[in-house]
Amino acid sequence: MSLADLYREIILEHARHPQHKGPLDGPVTLQAGLDNPTCGDEVVVQVRLGPGGLVEAAKFDGVGCSISMAAASIMSEMLVGRTLAQVKELTESYTAMVSGQKAPTDDLQDLVAFAGVAQFPMRVKCAALPFHALQKGISRYEGGI
């Protein structure tokens, strides 16, 4: 395992120039924040659902290492146009990959870049953080909270 296996170019690129970062303008359907108390990564995810229950806009904000910030950036890009059911599927597929329970699959698209995280147990939480925040937001929304 070399450093370059963890820090793929696309990850460093997104960490440097995050996409969809900042507060979501307009109505917010669901949101949640989460932090990683052991290391201080913090992320807030905001999502707006549009017609047909499709994600119309998604943004994140936060501070943290390049793994957590790049994961939040790529995640936000990929959410748009999906149903909540598809978002949940994506989340499960991704968290299974970074925790080493599943090989990368094509549905993960750019998120495949995070496959190397499974070899760095101390960084799995960083990679999963934005998705865990998203999951929290979805279950709150579905629970009517």
Q: Please give the residue ranges that form the binding site for Zn ion (CB under 5 A).
A: 41, 65, 68, 126
CB of 23 to other proteins, least distance (A): 19
* Cross-strand pairs, 30: 47
Q: Does 121 bind other proteins (CB under 8 A)?
A: no
Angle 25-29-34 (CA atoms, 0-180°, nearest 5)? 90
Q: Please give the sequence-ordered ranges of beta strands (E in DSSP) within the chain, or none if there are none.
A: 30-36, 41-49, 55-63
**Residue 90: closest CA among 64, 67, 73, 109:** 109
**Closer residue to other proteins (CB): 61 or 80:** 61
**Closer residue to Zn ion (CB): 37 or 143:** 37
**Residue 95: closest CA among 80, 110, 79, 111:** 111
**Closer residue to other proteins (CB): 22 or 81:** 22
**Closer residue to other proteins (CB): 38 or 101:** 38
Instruction: Identify the residue among 28, 39, 54, 80 touching other proteins (CB under 8 A).
Output: 39
Distance CA 47, CA 18 (A): 17
Angle 63-91-1 (CA atoms, 0-180°, nearest 5)? 70
Binding mask 47-76 for other proteins (x = CB under 8 A): ----------------xxxxx---------
| Interface positions with other proteins (CB under 8 A) | 1-4, 6-7, 9, 12-13, 15-16, 38-42, 63-67, 120, 122-123, 126
